[in-house]
Amino acid sequence: MKIKTAVIYNEVEELKYLVVDGDWTRFQGIYINSSEDTDELSELIYDEYGRYRVEFTDLQGFAAAIRDGALVVQCGFLP
The reported pTM is: 0.92
Q: Of 76 and 34, which is predicted with more confidence?
A: 76
pLDDT value of residue 22: 97
Q: What is the pLDDT of residues 23-39, one digit of tens each?
A: 999 999 999 988 877 89
What's the number of CA atoms in the CB half-sphere (13 Å) around residue 23? 3
Residue 78 CA to residue 30 CA, distance in Å, equals 10
Q: How far apart are CA 32 and CA 76, in angstroms?
A: 6
Grade residue 79 by pLDDT with cuts at 50, 70 and 90: confident
Q: What is the CA radius of gyration of the chain?
A: 12
Q: What is the number of alpha carbons within 13 Å of residue 61 lying toward its C-beta?
A: 13
